[in-house]
Amino acid sequence: MEVLESKCNVCHARRNPSRVFTEENMDAYGSSIYEQVFVRKRMPRGSSIRLSEQESNALKNWLNTLK
Ligand code: HEC
């Protein structure tokens, strides 16, 4: 969750306000996050924000706990 806050929401709050991630909406967004980050690799967007390998693993593990 910290990864989402620091690496995703910073931008979504500005560019995509309907998708600011919270614990509450993870039921709805968990699978689309997985899809965008790990399958299609579209997010995070831009070159200034990248997930470190550690952050990427943390996010993946955490998403797995939701399912
Ligand atoms: C620098 C800006 C930026 C960052 C950083 C960013 N996003 Fe996004 N994201 C966008 C924008 C703009 C859209 C809407 C346009 C689009 O879908 O391309 C979007 C759309 C999405 C969508 C919806 C896609 C769809 O199918 O409609 C998801 C899910 C998403 N982002 C997940 C993430 C996750 C998870 C991260 C962090 C790991 C992240 N984003 C980081 C800008 C960003």
Question: Which range marks the domain in which residue 61 is found?
Answer: 2-66
Q: Which residue out of 6, 45, 48 has the highest number of ligand 1 atoms within 8 Å of its CB and is therefore the one to mutate?
A: 45
For residue 36, the one-letter residue type is Q
Count Cα neighbours of 56 within 13 Å in the Cβ-side half-sphere. Answer: 12
Please report, in tens digits, the pLDDT of each residue of the chain (67 residues total): 778 888 899 899 988 888 999 888 988 899 999 999 999 999 998 778 889 999 999 999 999 887 6
CA distance from start to end of the chain: 15
Structural domains in the chain (count): 1
Name the residue with the closest Cα to ligand 1, atom 15: 16
Name the residue with the closest Cα to ligand 1, atom 28: 33
Ligand 1 atom, smallest distance to 32 CA: 29
9 C-alpha to ligand 1 centroid (Å): 9
- Regarding pTM above 0.75, the answer is yes
